[in-house]
Every structure is written in C-alpha cells, then in structure tokens.
C-alpha cells in the first residue's frame, strides 16, 4: 500500500485520474482559512494565496530527519518562558529608569523602585525555562547538555547579583542615573558581574537554542530573519565595555573627563537598546517556534493525499 502511494506521488503529473489534495488541518499561510480538501494547484478561496505558497511555508523537507522531542509541550513552554521572562525583566529595568526620570522631573512617587524585586524573580523564572535546553530529545550531544546545565547553574549567581542591585543597592542609594549612586564603584562592579554572567550564559545556551531554532523550516532557511544569540551576546559585550571604561575612570581619577563619561554612557545606552531589541526578537522567534515544537515539523505526506478526480476514494 505504501509503495503504491509512493508511486502515485511520483506519477502526480502524469496520471490524470488522481489529484493531490490537502488532507488534515492546513490553514492558509496568509489568512488562516482552512484549506482541507483543496487541490495543491488551487488558490485559497478567501484571499487568493496559492496553496503552493502555504505548502512551501509549512512543509519541511527535512521533517523526518528530526529526533522527536521527549516532551514537545514542556520544550515549547520552556522556550517561551525562558525568552519571555527575560524580556519582561528587561522591561522592568527600563520602567525603573523611566520612573526615576519622572521622579526627578515631576516629583512623582518613588515607590516604583520596589518593583525592582521583579527583575531577579523574572530572571530566576527565565532560568527555570532554560532547563528545556538540557535534554530536549534523546540524541542531544553530551556537550550541548553540559553547556546548558552550566548555563542554568550560572543563573543562581546572576539572580543573586540582580537582587543585590535592584532590591537592595538601588533602594538604599536612590535613582542611580541622577546624582552620585551611578558613580559608586560597588554598583559598577555589580553591573560588570551581571554583564559577564549574561554574556557567558548566552554563549553557553547558544547550541541549545539552535537545537530548537533549526526545527522551523522558515527560521532555518532564513525565510524569516532570526535573532541570533551571537548578536545578543555582542550587545551585552558593548554595555560591558561601557561599564569597564566607567569603572576605570572611577578607579583612576586621572581618566575622569566629560569625554570619558560620554563614551561609557554611549556604550551603555546603545548596548542596552540593542539588548532590548535582541530579547524582543528572541521572544518573537520563540512564539514562532511554539507551534512547530508542539505539533512537530510537517512532511509533505502529512498534509496531502491522493484522490480520484471524480470524488474521494
Ligand atoms: Zn487565504
């Protein structure tokens, strides 16, 4: 039976009695209309997008080469938690700085600063999500698992440092970017520690992230541009350089000048903006991967069947 199906597939263009139609649930790539039962050579009745365009976007020619995930739901939820919690943590830091600004400009309440507790809590949640990278399927190479385990362990000192900075230091000393707290050397040292840990964690998790990303034919083939971990790591590196210049100017006062202050501030601001953009991209990629991980990549055979032209077999 399977051989006959295969022959039929091969004879698709030559046998006039059979037509390839869509089986199972296949939604139009453009408007999500259910295309079940339509011929592969037709168009979406709702929006006119050729069915072939949907097939190209959804069918993965390498679908059968991927090892099945041990737990598709756990992997998908882990990935979205990892990137989503990290993104919200970064938004919290951004909100804290905006609230500092409104406090300075409009004498608004300082109570916002207590929301700083969300930063380490959400980072810890992101670390729990990262557990999904350790062993998504049984054929994961050992060094990918080991790197992921090391990354998850490094979340512990990262959460501790973030707690120290956002829950204790900034609450005791006040708004860092207005006045002296920014120039307290201990604060810069904490920032450098946080930057280094984020950088190392990102590089350690890189192969684990790719393990998931390659399962989407659109991300793998570049039909959708993908946020790379390496780009994110270089953004972290830029803020680190800024913090190191800042630290040096505090350590050796001879370096202190408006020019040096401008340089480190520029590195920190540009790097932070790039980190924010990077995490937004990472979160969007996770959402795109979510259905691919849960349902598994689709092969051509999963979505089409052969039918006699005068009706179902
Ligand atoms: Zn459509």
Q: What are 18-68's pLDDT values in tens digits?
A: 677 887 678 888 898 888 888 888 899 999 999 888 888 888 888 888 888
54 CA → ligand 1 middle, Å = 9
Q: Kindly give the distance from the C-alpha atom of residue 45 to the centroid of ligand 1, in angstroms, as a whole number.
A: 7
- Helix and strand numbers (H, E) in the chain are 11, 2
pLDDT at 107: 64
- The whole-number pLDDT of residue 182 equals 72
Q: Is the pLDDT of residue 11 over 60?
A: no
CA distances (Å), origin 295, targets 19, 72, 75, 81, 252: 26, 8, 12, 18, 58
> Which residues have their alpha-adjacent CB atom under 5 A from ion ligand 1?
28, 30-31, 33, 44, 46-47, 49
Could you give the percent of the chain with pLDDT greater than 90?
Answer: 49
DSSP 43: B
Whether 242 contacts 268, CB under 8 Å: yes
Element (H, E) at 307: strand 304-308
Distance 224 CA to ligand 1 centre (A): 19
The CA distance from 242 to 267, in Å, is 5
If you measure from the C-alpha of residue 34 to the centroid of ligand 1, how many angstroms do you get, rounded to a whole number?
A: 8
| Burial class, 166, CB count within 10 angstroms (exposed 0-12 / middle 13-18 / buried 19+) | buried
Residues 62 and 59: their CA atoms lie apart, in Å, by 9
Ligand 1 centroid to residue 46 C-alpha, Å: 5
Per-residue confidence (pLDDT) for residue 110, from 0 to 100: 64
Which pLDDT band holds residue 5 (cuts at 50, 70, 90)?
very low
Q: How confident is the model at residue 103 (pLDDT cuts 50, 70, 90)?
A: confident
């Amino acid at each position: 039976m399977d051989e006959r199906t295969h022959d039929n597939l091969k004879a698709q263009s030559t046998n006039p009695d059979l037509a390839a139609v869509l089986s199972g649930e296949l939604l139009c790539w453009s408007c999500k209309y259910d295309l079940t039962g339509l011929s592969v050579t037709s168009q979406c009745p709702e929006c006119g997008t050729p069915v072939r365009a949907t097939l190209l976007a959804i069918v993965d020619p390498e679908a059968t080469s991927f090892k099945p995930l041990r737990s598709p739901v756990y992997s998908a939820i882990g990935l979205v938690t990892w990137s989503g919690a990290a993104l919200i943590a970064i938004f919290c830091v951004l909100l804290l700085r905006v609230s500092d600004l409104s406090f300075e400009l409009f004498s608004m309440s300082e109570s916002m600063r207590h929301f700083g507790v969300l930063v380490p809590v959400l980072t810890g949640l992101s670390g729990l999500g990262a557990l999904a990278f350790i062993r998504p399927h049984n054929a994961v190479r050992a060094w990918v698992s080991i790197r992921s385990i090391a990354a998850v362990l490094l979340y512990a000192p990262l959460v501790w440092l973030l707690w120290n900075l956002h829950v204790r230091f900034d609450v005791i000393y006040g708004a860092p970017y207005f006045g002296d707290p920014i120039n307290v050397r201990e604060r810069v040292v904490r920032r450098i520690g946080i930057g280094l840990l984020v950088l190392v964690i990102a590089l350690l998790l890189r192969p684990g992230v790719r393990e998931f990303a390659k399962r989407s034919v659109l991300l793998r083939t570049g039909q959708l541009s993908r946020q790379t971990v390496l780009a994110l790591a270089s953004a972290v590196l830029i803020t680190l350089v800024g913090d190191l210049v800042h630290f040096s100017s505090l350590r050796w006062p001879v370096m202190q000048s408006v020019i040096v202050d401008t340089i480190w501030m520029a590195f920190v601001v540009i790097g932070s903006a790039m980190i924010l953009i990077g995490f937004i991209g990472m979160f969007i990629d996770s959402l795109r991967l979510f259905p691919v991980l849960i349902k598994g990549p689709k092969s051509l055979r999963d979505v089409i069947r052969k039918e006699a032209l005068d009706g179902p077999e």
